[in-house]
Amino acid sequence: MTRVRHVAVGRIGRPHGVRGEVRVDPRGNLPRGLQGYTRFYVDRGRGPEPIRVEHHRLHGRFVLVKFEGYDTPEAARELTHAVLYVDRAELPPLDEGEYYHADLPGCEVADEQGRILGTVVDVFDSGAHDVLVIRSGQGREWMLPVVRQWVLEIAPEAGRIVVRVPEGLWD
C-alpha cells in the first residue's frame, strides 16, 4: 500500500488574539503533538506548501500556533480551514499495534469470514476511541469504533483491516 508523504496533524481554525496566532485542532494520533517537528506544510486547497512555525502552545484541547509572516488576525484568517501537515520522514517509529490515521484510508475492510465489506475513507478520534468511516461497494457509509470487540486486526502495511460486524448492522 502506498503511504502518503505528508501526514495531517491538524486543521487550522480561527485567529486567536491580535498577534496572528491561530487555533489548530490537532488530529492524526501523533504521539508528540507538534513537538519536535522541523518542517510543516499547509494545504489551502492547492496542495501542501511549506510554512514556518514561529511558536506554538497548548490552549485547552487546541494548540495555538503562530506562523511566520502571519502577524495580524486579518493575515492569519487566510489560513482558516487549511490543513496542517508534517513530513512522514519525521514521524517517530510506531510500537506494535499502533498506527497513524493517515495510513488507514484506502484499507480494505473484511469480516472474520473474509467477506469484503468496504474501504476505509476516513478515521477520526471521538474522544473515547478512534472511529473508522467505511464505504461499501454500494456506496453506503457506516462507522465502526476501533475497539477490541469489533476490530480484530489492523494491518495498514497490507492494506487490510479485519472486523467483527455488530449484529444487525450489515443485514
- Record the cell numbers describing residue 111, joined without a space: 469480516
pTM summary value: 0.73
Q: How many domains does the chain have?
A: 2
Residue 113 domain flag = yes
The pLDDT value recorded for residue 133 is 97
Helix (H, G, I), strand (E, B) or coil at 112: coil
Q: For residue 23, what are the domain limits?
A: 6-90
Helix (H, G, I), strand (E, B) or coil at 139: coil
**Which residues of the chain fall short of a pLDDT of 70?**
1-4, 28-33, 169-171
Residue 13 domain flag = yes
Q: How far apart are the first and last CA of the chain?
A: 30
Residue 97 domain flag = no
Residue keyed to cell 455488530: 166
Residue 96 domain flag = no
The pLDDT value recorded for residue 50 is 95
The CATH number covering residue 66 comes to 2.40.30.60
Same-domain check for residues 46 and 82: yes
Q: Which residues pair with residue 116 across a beta bridge?
A: 110
The pLDDT value recorded for residue 28 is 59
- Strand 130-135 vs strand 141-145: parallel, antiparallel, or unpaired? antiparallel
Q: Which residues pair with residue 150 across a beta bridge?
A: none
Tens of pLDDT along 1-10? 556 688 888 8
Helix (H, G, I), strand (E, B) or coil at 52: coil
- Record the cell numbers describing residue 52, joined without a space: 514556518
The CATH number covering residue 158 comes to 2.30.30.240
H or E element at residue 6? strand 6-16
